[in-house]
Amino acid sequence: MKRTALALALLATPALVSPAAADDRNDIIAPITAIAAGADRHDWDRVRAAFADEVTLDYTSLWGGDPATQTADAVVEQWSGFLPGFETTHHMVTNHTVTSASDVSATVEADFTATHRIGDDLWVLGGRYDYDLIEVNGDWKVSSMTMTALWETGDRGLVGQAAERAAATQ
C-alpha cells in the first residue's frame, strides 16, 4: 500500500514526470558541460558562450582569498592564458543535480575530477561545484561557480609551470 501511495504521489508531480522537465534539465546542464569540455579543448568561444556577461568565481577552498566577480571575457582571457600550458587537461563534471529552477534562474550541484598533466607530472583534484544559472534570451548561462575542493594529489605547482609555458608560446 505504501508503494502505491508513493507511486501515485510521484505521478502527480509534473516536474518529475514531464518530458519538458527532462528537456529543461538538459538545457540547464548544457552550459556546465560546455565550460569543462570547452576549457579542455581550448574552445574559448564555447566557454564564453556558456557564461553570463558577468560571473562570480569562487575558488577560495583551493587558493584562499575572496570570490571574484568579473566579466566572462576576463575569465576566458585568464583561463586561455594558462590552461594551454598544460599538455592535457580533463575536467570531468558529473552527478549533476538541479536543486532549484524557475523560468529565469536555476541552481545545480555537481561533482568533479580535474586532471592536469605536463610530461609525466600530474595534478589531480576532486570535489564539488555549486552553480547559479540565469536565463538569457532563451539560453541558460552560468552566472556563478563555487568550487569546493575535497581532495588533491600530485603537484599543484604545475599551475605556475603551465602559466609560464603558455606565456612563452603567445
The answer on pLDDT for 20 being more than 70 is no
pLDDT (average), residues 102-112: 96
If 0-12 CB within 10 Å is exposed, 13-18 middle and 19+ buried, where does residue 145 land? buried
Q: Quick one: pLDDT band at residue 21, thresholds 50, 70, 90?
A: confident
Q: Give, as one character, the DSSP assignment of residue 18.
A: -
Q: Quick one: pLDDT band at residue 23, thresholds 50, 70, 90?
A: confident
**Containing structural domain, residue 140:** 2-169
What CATH number did the domain enclosing 30 receive?
3.10.450.50
- Nearest C-alpha neighbor of 68 from the set 135, 134, 144, 125: 144
Q: Quick one: pLDDT band at residue 5, thresholds 50, 70, 90?
A: very low
* Phi, psi angles (nearest 5°) of residue 83: -60, -40
When divided into structural domains, the chain yields a total of: 1
* Phi, psi angles (nearest 5°) of residue 50: -85, -15
Question: What type of residue sits at position 63?
Answer: W
Q: What are the pLDDT digits (tens) for 127-138?
A: 999 999 999 999
Question: What type of residue sits at position 160?
Answer: G
The answer on pLDDT for 16 being more than 80 is no
Q: What are the pLDDT digits (tens) for 52-66?
A: 999 999 999 999 999
